[in-house]
Amino acid sequence: MLLQFTFSDHLIANDTISIKRHFLQIINPKKARNHANIEELNRVANYIKGHFLQFADSVYFQSYIVDGKEYKNVVAVFGNQNTSTIVVGAHYDVCGNQDGADDNASGVVGLLEIAEMLYEKKLKHRIELVAYTLEEPPYFRTENMGSYIHAKSLNDQNREVYGMFCLEMIGYFKDEKKSQRYPIGILSWIYGNQGNYITLVNKLNKGKFSRKFNRAFVRQNNIKIKKFSGPAKLPGIDFSDHLNYWSFGYSALMITDTAFYRNYNYHQKSDKLHTLDLNRMNMVIETVFNSLLDM
């Protein structure tokens, strides 16, 4: 059999090698990056910062104290000369003692790849890539979430924020029938029951930024996409860092493989790198990047 290997295949292979390299740096099988393991959180934060420093206009830790301990967001700024800001975020902590490959090393790897892709690009907006700490329990839905700290800082500074989106689990895909669940069963009639797509999750009154980003994302047409808009109180629609930007009136959305509605490894020790589809994850990252430039 003659195997054909195209230039685009070569690019995808190279990208997935880079993606895997980041995963192996973020995940420590011997010590989970949870709120109790400050040293491990700091190790990962330092790795993220070191990578950002190679490409961004500026990089800094946004530090704050919770229960007498110091936690850190990692912020990279691109297009610093622009006034209108777009925030791209992903949390790097995990829930409990597990690798958290999909939740949410996948989102952080997305940030790291996007940082490299943004290097020396001419941008219409100021872009902040933010790796958040303390998204997971016991701090979820509290003002100790890293994303709350960051969103509040933008509000306190009266910054012009065009919009925000977070990368929340972007690496798990399944083609099998009945591999996708929903908060309301009837939704499977509309969206199908195969977990083979990436989802743009919005609240009903999503705002200008989210509307435009949704259109730009769909235009790329290189990965299967579903758009979902619903009431903010619908279970799962606000289960990530974008909820804190909603609190300050910013247009924000979540990009996700739908987490526990698809991935049974959610918050389990089975959330391992080998369960992820790095090729489709790479296409998500490419689509995010192209959509950012299109804003």
Q: Please report, for the chain, the start and end positions of each structural domain, with discontinuous segments joined by +.
A: 15-293
Per the DSSP assignment, residues forming a β-bridge with 127 are 78, 86
Are 246 and 203 spatial neighbours (Cβ–Cβ below 8 Å)? yes
Backbone angles phi, psi at 48, to 5 degrees: -60, -45
The Cα 274–Cα 101 span in angstroms is 9
CB 40 within 8 A of CB 14: no
**Per-residue pLDDT tens for 154-193?**
999 999 999 999 999 999 999 999 999 998 889 999 999 9
Q: For 218-240, how does the pLDDT look when each residue is reduced to its tens digit (9 = 90+)?
A: 999 889 999 999 888 888 899 99
The whole-angstrom separation of Cα 198 and Cα 182 is 14
Q: What share of the chain is helix, strand, coil (3-state, %, to 5)?
A: 40, 20, 45
pLDDT of residue 222: 87
pTM of this structure: 0.94
Residue 293 CA to residue 295 CA, distance in Å, equals 6
Which of the listed CATH numbers 3.40.630.10, 1.10.3720.10, 2.40.160.10, 3.40.1780.10 matches domain 15-293? 3.40.630.10
Q: Give the whole-number percent of the chain exceeding pLDDT 90.
A: 90
Nearest of 222, 274, 278, 271 to residue 17 by alpha carbon: 278
Q: Give 54-103 pLDDT, tens digit per residue.
A: 999 999 999 999 999 999 999 999 999 999 999 999 999 999 999 999 99
